Structure 1
Amino acid sequence: MAEHITIGDVAPRVQYVADGVLADFTYPFPIFAEEDLEIRVDGTVLAGGTTIAGAGSSDGGVVTFAEPPAAGSEITLRRRLKIARATDFQDNGILRARNLNDELDYQVAAIQQVADDVAGTVHLPPTEAGNLVLPARSARANRVLGFDGSGGIALFDRDTGKLGVPFPGGVPRSVEDKLGERLTARDFGATGDGVTDDGPALAAAMAAAAASGHVLEIGEGTFRTTQPLVLGGGAAGLVMLGSILYAGPDGQAALTLGDGAAVRNAAKRYVGLRVIRATISDWMNEADIGLVMRNLDASLVEIRQIEGFTIGIRTQGVERGFEDTTLILGRIVNNKIGLDVRTETAAAWNTSVRYYGGHFAIGSSVHTDKDRFGVRISAAPGAYVAHNRHLFDGPGFELQARDKPITGIPFLVEVNSRSVWARAIRMEGCSPFVARHTGGAQDHVYEVAWASQAYLIDVDYTPSATRTGAVVRAFHQAAAFREATREVGNVPNLRAARIRWSNTEWGFEKLACLSSNVSGSPSTLSDFAFAALDSYGFTETGAVLTGGRGLGFVVDARRCRDFALAVDADLPRLAVMCFDANRNLLSDSGTPLVRASGQSLVWNAAARWYQGSADMADDTLTRPQVVHLEPQVAYAIIGLARIGTDYEVRAMRLGCDPLFTPPLLYGQPSLPHGARELVAEAAWDPASIAAGASAQTNVTVPGARPGDFASAAFSVATSGVVFLAQVGATDVVTVTAWNRSGAAIDLNPGTVRARVVKA
């Protein structure tokens, strides 16, 4: 025989949130029969569609739905008993324990049900006795219920009743006045459930805000609309905590802020704007716009997200200007044109606006055959075209156009704008242009902080462009290089700078020739900075570094520690040699003596220099390099070396921070490299020279070679005597004093000076 139900201390209610998969839901409390269990889904009592197991069990049971409830729906299971007694014990009858237990269990279950119902009511706390009784229906009709000074129930007139804030100086106000100070979309019936068409409710709320001068708040949730929305300029502003989901007609602006015509929309505050198109536009109709803002002046706008339109955002001057306003931009996603800075009439202008941030991005599968732009500066036909003084700070562009037959450019400028600055731009997957100019724009500055397109970023001037003058500053892995504006050494044309030292050896103006296999036991700077070497090749445009060869600037680094090397060459390799204050070679001891800005350096023990771990190239963002020397490095050779393959070098430049002016070392007695002209002098007291006769002396000029151009001069008066010079032998210039007069000449003692110029 089954045991009777035991009623434990278990609440007669349980709730769940469905996941869309689970169909079985447990109830932990006992019920006497299936009809004692009430089943609600999102508050609605369910009749049918379920099976109930476990009626009559003390441990409860399970409700099984024929179809799993939708994900997110709330399931409520609770015991609901009829508060009635359906049985009776007979006089002088047999009182069976089972029947008595069943009756007592039913009573306990009913009491638990009442207790659960009472728990959700408004009631006095345990420390207070008595009760609160509502006034009669006729007395409380059309009145406001409240409490008097002793905490008892009191009635107030809706129109004249006053409520005050509990702070000193507070002024009592009517309830309507208090409620009217904050205007929300839900006050007009908007639901924000993402399904209901909230368009009429939003339109009514916006009309009320414009008429009353209030700020409109659109709360949390997704507010779907099938109609375009306009918040007139009479509204003080708009605060959005949720989003507008536009499912209206194509070719319309989903949300417009401000009035058209010659109306000044000043000192407004629009915060949290988020407008999403239900389906992505086909990008064919430019009237399909997410957010239009008209005639704003000295206002603040914060945009969280605009997505899926042909034009995401338009700042618009309509018969009046859009100016002196700050916009904070968030996600501007999947729009053909993310932001359109525009004028509509000849009387309008769009100027002096600050745009901060902005993530202009396109999905990788969105309209892969169509061009896209981040920001467009434009004007309607016949409208004002002299936009100026716009600032874009830190925008990021991911336009998904690189390596595709489409255009993806951050800025499209179609007007005659002036002084437009864009700072710290990020370019990811864009075309190799930061901007395209089609009109008379000038004085634009584009500062690129990061670019996957490498350093060859430019402005695209179309055939219709009538001005130039835009500046592009690429800082990605080149910021330190950009700051090195002091020129230390410059060889703009290596072929023109070559110096023939002999039939086989070549040197270069201002540069030292380097070898990776110096013979003997070299140890000082002069042992490695060669004036000339063989095995250099030449083309029409430059010099070719072949096996074992290099070129470098020799610098005094005792006061300046950072140097920037710029080269025009085919995949060159950086090389740096270090020397101490006595010009002795410094070798690597485990701690690097030099570091580079865009790549790692490795020690080449055979060549005795640090060399780049990779070629200096645009596609790896390693072409411009800054090298930093440790304090123990007093002198250095900074240049290029041939590693792996021959390559051509056309130009080289070395710079540093303009705070310093480090000497470039060349053409010195101990470092003769880099000088095309050689000079030397010697004391000479020639004997008397007969008429038509000559006298000779030799001057030692280190580096002079037969075939070099030579000239000479004497330090005292030489009237009638002509001085001739030629390189008679290696390192020797023969100077001839020829008496062209008709009488003997005896020159006073003096100094003979010889000059040699290399071919």
Structure 2
Amino acid sequence: MAEHITIGDVAPRVQYVADGVLAAFTYPFPIFDAADLEIRIDGAVLAGGATVTGAGASEGGSVVFDAPPQAGAKVTLRRRLAIARTTDFQNNGVLRARALNDELDYQVAALQQVADDVGSAMRLDPTDAGGLVLPLRGARANRVLGFDSTGDVTVFDRGTGLLGVPYPGGVPRSVEDKLAERLTARDFGATGDGVTDDGPALAAAMAAAAASGKTLEIGEGTFRTTQPLVLGGGAAGLVMRGTILYAGPDGQAALTLGDGAAARNAAKRYEGLRVLRASISDWMNEADIGLVMRNLDASFVEIRQVEGFTIGIRTQGVERGFEDTTINLGRIVNNKIGLDVRTETAGAWNTSVRYYGGHFALGSSVHTDKDRYGVRLSAAPGAYVAHNRHLFDGPGFELQARDRPITGIPFLIEVNSRSVWARAVRMEGCSPHVARHTAGAQDHVYEVAWASQGYLVDIDYPASATRTGSVVRATHQSAAFREATREIGAVPNLRAARIRWSNTEWGFEKLACLSSNVSGSIATLADFAFPALASYAFTDSGVLLTGGRGLGFVVDARGCREFALAVDADAPRLVVMCFDASRNLLTDSGTPRARASGQSLTWNPTAYWYQSAADMADATLTRPQVVRLAPEVAYAIIGVARIGSDYELRSMRLACDPLFAPTLIYGQPNLPHGTRELVAEAAWDPPSIAAGGTAAVNVTIPGARPGDFASAAFSLATSGLVFMAQVGATDVVTVTAWNKTAVAVDLAAGTVRARVVKT
């Protein structure tokens, strides 16, 4: 050492948390030699890999690592001296101040080291006299160390109940008893790594929970299982923080909660349930179920996610009821039926259940050819069918069915349920029905807060339905007038709604083109509701209708008698055409089949319609003209026309009593009016297509005209092939398959689908 160092009042230890970038760390205390500095990383002593500088300096020095420690690592630098006398003063020798100072410095440094070690040890309070002595090794072996009533160290048997508790009045317990309060899946060997088959461990844990009456906890992680799992009704509940990934056999329920038969599973609590299928079910087997809950009563269930099954969740009454339970729903995705509310026997019931939330959704590419439903109320053959008082609060449905030849309906009701309420329903990409009732359900209330199909929301009653008595309250785009009228159809801008049907003919979105002089064989609705006609001219604001031309809404009037028409036009005339349930024309029978609120309607035998006797000069968008139809009228065209002069029509709106939601008809296969898109499909077995070659097939689409946009697709995998489409002739779309690969491709027989979009 070049100079005498000074041992100041500096602790001989310093710690840092590495950031993964810094390689140099300082120590503020002096050392005599580089070997006196101990370097630890996360508790491990480092041997090599670092350079120490500053030995012999009073202010300390630094440590430079060969590579920066990993981010988050704890770096500890401390002085470690041998507690030994390494020097000696000679008798009658010269006692030099430097040697004496060095010896004293070493002793002070050693004392600082001892003080640092003692400071981190457990010790008695200065006011607590005496000392604590451990029992001998033989006496303390396999026993628990503790303190007796005087505070002295003693030992206890491992199973003793004499250990103290931290709270006044607490009952002393053993550690084993404390740890056994709640079972966890990892107690039975479950790993949650997403790869190991945790099925046997989960099954053992669930059996233990059911036998002991305790709550089972499945912690964080993904617990893969190749076997179905059952948590019996004896368990108090289930808490999941991780995920069950089902990779087991088809036709099984991945997770079943509660006992079946006549067991009553009351006051259960299931939290954080998340069950996923390793691969999406083919939706063909309704026994592929993600989560089954049996006979719950006065219980609480929280479901985070169920995905990939034919039926995502089933609440099941089996020889007893499922009732008075609260269910919080999360993501219910990629299931054919998201939630199935079901009974299995005649003595079972499913009633008085509250459901909160629920995102019922499907991926855009999931089983695009299969129907799907959000919630189904069902019963096994012969089972109880009166599912009553179910409340759904704020469910959302994204069923990816709109504009596809499939059904995607939020509620499928197959039982005679009563008082099922759905509030603030969201419908995105669904069919135009919020529910389908196939049996005797009634007194259902569906409040649709948002629907991508707007006000065209209804309940579908197929031929098997025996009751109606339910209501849809659609507020999307209709909240301002719902208490007065329900909007059925609206064209706010006739010019923007025009559709070029051919070089000379024009149609309009949602509307049928009308003529006062229809020739040929005329008998049905399709003979009068033209998709397009000539002799329409356009202004900056709308369409100029020439004499004899008209436009009208086509409506299903089987459930609704009164309609209100409002127009923005230059003094048009109201016209009404009537048809029976088979869509055959109804002529005047002497008793008017149509009446108006503000004026008389007269029969025009040439045009086959009732028309107003006076202009609608006083009709505005806020004062519609009301039309009442006779009971025998099942379908009607309600619109405007002008016989003797031209006039400008700018907008139209049709409404009805809010108790009804009749269907506005357009774009149907036999009634193509009012739509820009026309679709068709045909069976096709393409020939073998040589590399770079093509094959073509014609698909008939009535209404297709040269100049329309056309596209096509094939029902089978077509890797390497490009399908192109064009309207080659009137009503004909030519679909061409072009082989872009370097080898011949021979597709199997399938279905070619073509679509035409008009501008």
TM-score if structure 2 supplies the norm length?
0.56
* Partners of 1:76 and 1:195 in 2: CA distance: 33
Q: Find the partner of 1:75 among 73, 76, 84.
A: 73
- For 1:517, the equivalent position in structure 2 comes to none
Check the 8 A contact 2:275/2:291 in 1, yes or no.
no
Structure 1 SS opposite 2:339: strand
Q: CA 1:37–1:404 in structure 2 vs 1: closer, same or farther (change >3 Å)?
A: farther
* Partners of 1:34 and 1:400 in 2: CA distance: 72
Greater displacement, 193-202 / 351-360: 193-202
Superposed CA offset, 1:232-251 (max 9, x none) = 111122234x2234254253
- For 2:436, the equivalent position in structure 1 comes to 436
- For 2:422, the equivalent position in structure 1 comes to 422
Greater displacement, 22-31 / 152-161: 22-31
Check the 8 A contact 1:190/1:223 in 2, yes or no.
no
User: AA paired with 1:146?
Assistant: G
Q: CA 1:161–1:362 in structure 2 vs 1: closer, same or farther (change >3 Å)?
A: same
Q: Find the partner of 1:38 among 40, 47, 60.
A: 40
- For 1:298, the equivalent position in structure 2 comes to 298
- For 2:137, the equivalent position in structure 1 comes to 137
- For 1:686, the equivalent position in structure 2 comes to none
Q: CA 1:63–1:108 in structure 2 vs 1: closer, same or farther (change >3 Å)?
A: farther
* Partners of 2:428 and 2:361 in 1: CA distance: 9
* Partners of 1:365 and 1:106 in 2: CA distance: 78
User: AA paired with 2:300?
Assistant: L
User: AA paired with 2:16?
Assistant: V
- For 2:15, the equivalent position in structure 1 comes to 13
Check the 8 A contact 1:281/1:288 in 2, yes or no.
no
- For 2:272, the equivalent position in structure 1 comes to 273
Aligned-residue offset at 1:306: 3.4
What aligned pairs does 1:587-626 form with structure 2 within 5 A after superposition?
Answer: none
Aligned-residue offset at 1:432: 2.1
Structure 2 SS opposite 1:139: helix
- For 2:392, the equivalent position in structure 1 comes to 392
Check the 8 A contact 2:485/2:658 in 1, yes or no.
no
Aligned-residue offset at 1:258: 0.9
Aligned-residue offset at 1:440: 4.7
Greater displacement, 418-427 / 1-10: 1-10
- For 1:146, the equivalent position in structure 2 comes to 146
Check the 8 A contact 1:386/1:415 in 2, yes or no.
yes
- For 2:260, the equivalent position in structure 1 comes to 260
- Which structure has the greater CA radius of gyration? 1
Structure 2 SS opposite 1:263: coil
Check the 8 A contact 2:39/2:46 in 1, yes or no.
no
Check the 8 A contact 1:261/1:319 in 2, yes or no.
yes
Superposed CA offset, 1:211-231 (max 9, x none) = 122233445x33524354322
Superposed CA offset, 1:348-374 (max 9, x none) = 433332212223334556666655432
Q: CA 1:90–1:118 in structure 2 vs 1: closer, same or farther (change >3 Å)?
A: closer
Superposed CA offset, 1:291-344 (max 9, x none) = 221121232222333345443322122343322322122333444432222234
Q: CA 1:89–1:344 in structure 2 vs 1: closer, same or farther (change >3 Å)?
A: same
* Partners of 1:408 and 1:53 in 2: CA distance: 71
Check the 8 A contact 2:289/2:311 in 1, yes or no.
yes
* Partners of 1:283 and 1:146 in 2: CA distance: 62
* Partners of 1:74 and 1:646 in 2: CA distance: 70
Aligned-residue offset at 1:439: 4.6
User: AA paired with 1:232?
Assistant: G
What aligned pairs does 1:573-652 form with structure 2 within 5 A after superposition?
Answer: 645-647=649-651
Superposed CA offset, 1:56-82 (max 9, x none) = 68553454659x96xxx8523334777
Check the 8 A contact 2:188/2:205 in 1, yes or no.
yes
Aligned-residue offset at 1:457: 0.7
Check the 8 A contact 2:484/2:657 in 1, yes or no.
no
Q: CA 1:274–1:650 in structure 2 vs 1: closer, same or farther (change >3 Å)?
A: closer
Q: CA 1:226–1:545 in structure 2 vs 1: closer, same or farther (change >3 Å)?
A: farther
Check the 8 A contact 2:12/2:116 in 1, yes or no.
no
Check the 8 A contact 1:79/1:113 in 2, yes or no.
no
Aligned-residue offset at 1:426: 1.9
- For 1:455, the equivalent position in structure 2 comes to 455
User: AA paired with 2:446?
Assistant: Y
Structure 1 SS opposite 2:419: coil
- For 1:212, the equivalent position in structure 2 comes to 212
User: AA paired with 2:221?
Assistant: T
Q: CA 1:511–1:200 in structure 2 vs 1: closer, same or farther (change >3 Å)?
A: same
State the identity %.
64
Aligned-residue offset at 1:119: 6.2
Q: CA 1:29–1:166 in structure 2 vs 1: closer, same or farther (change >3 Å)?
A: closer
Aligned-residue offset at 1:105: 9.0
Q: CA 1:323–1:495 in structure 2 vs 1: closer, same or farther (change >3 Å)?
A: same
What aligned pairs does 1:87-98 form with structure 2 within 5 A after superposition?
Answer: 88-89=86-87
User: AA paired with 1:273?
Assistant: G
* Partners of 2:647 and 2:328 in 1: CA distance: 50
Structure 2 SS opposite 1:138: helix
Q: CA 1:566–1:233 in structure 2 vs 1: closer, same or farther (change >3 Å)?
A: farther
Q: CA 1:438–1:181 in structure 2 vs 1: closer, same or farther (change >3 Å)?
A: same
User: AA paired with 2:243?
Assistant: I
User: AA paired with 2:408?
Assistant: G
Check the 8 A contact 1:543/1:648 in 2, yes or no.
no
Q: CA 1:80–1:298 in structure 2 vs 1: closer, same or farther (change >3 Å)?
A: same
Aligned-residue offset at 1:458: 1.8
User: AA paired with 2:619?
Assistant: L
Structure 1 SS opposite 2:388: coil
* Partners of 1:407 and 1:483 in 2: CA distance: 30
* Partners of 2:366 and 2:119 in 1: CA distance: 55
* Partners of 1:169 and 1:264 in 2: CA distance: 36
Structure 1 SS opposite 2:138: helix
Q: CA 1:431–1:492 in structure 2 vs 1: closer, same or farther (change >3 Å)?
A: closer
* Partners of 2:401 and 2:96 in 1: CA distance: 87
User: AA paired with 1:14?
Assistant: Y
Greater displacement, 107-116 / 385-394: 107-116
Q: CA 1:96–1:269 in structure 2 vs 1: closer, same or farther (change >3 Å)?
A: farther
Greater displacement, 402-411 / 312-321: 402-411
Aligned-residue offset at 1:259: 1.9
Aligned-residue offset at 1:286: 4.5
Q: CA 1:261–1:95 in structure 2 vs 1: closer, same or farther (change >3 Å)?
A: farther
Aligned-residue offset at 1:280: 5.5
Aligned-residue offset at 1:200: 4.8
User: AA paired with 1:77?
Assistant: V
* Partners of 1:253 and 1:6 in 2: CA distance: 77
Q: CA 1:377–1:552 in structure 2 vs 1: closer, same or farther (change >3 Å)?
A: same
Aligned-residue offset at 1:456: 0.5
* Partners of 1:650 and 1:116 in 2: CA distance: 89
Q: CA 1:426–1:113 in structure 2 vs 1: closer, same or farther (change >3 Å)?
A: farther
Structure 2 SS opposite 1:210: helix
Check the 8 A contact 1:495/1:650 in 2, yes or no.
no
Aligned-residue offset at 1:128: 4.0
* Partners of 2:229 and 2:350 in 1: CA distance: 23
* Partners of 2:368 and 2:108 in 1: CA distance: 70
Aligned-residue offset at 1:84: 3.7
* Partners of 1:202 and 1:495 in 2: CA distance: 72
Aligned length: 523
* Partners of 2:24 and 2:118 in 1: CA distance: 24
* Partners of 1:35 and 1:197 in 2: CA distance: 49
1:551 paired to 2:619: yes
* Partners of 1:461 and 1:477 in 2: CA distance: 24
Structure 2 SS opposite 1:389: strand
* Partners of 2:253 and 2:110 in 1: CA distance: 60
User: AA paired with 1:412?
Assistant: L
Structure 1 SS opposite 2:139: helix
User: AA paired with 1:551?
Assistant: A
Check the 8 A contact 1:264/1:295 in 2, yes or no.
yes
1:478 paired to 2:478: yes
Superposed CA offset, 1:109-153 (max 9, x none) = 887877776666544455545543332333334444333344333
Aligned-residue offset at 1:268: 1.6
* Partners of 2:154 and 2:132 in 1: CA distance: 11
* Partners of 2:454 and 2:282 in 1: CA distance: 29
Check the 8 A contact 2:237/2:269 in 1, yes or no.
yes
* Partners of 2:104 and 2:611 in 1: CA distance: 108
* Partners of 2:648 and 2:119 in 1: CA distance: 85
What aligned pairs does 1:505-520 form with structure 2 within 5 A after superposition?
Answer: 511=598
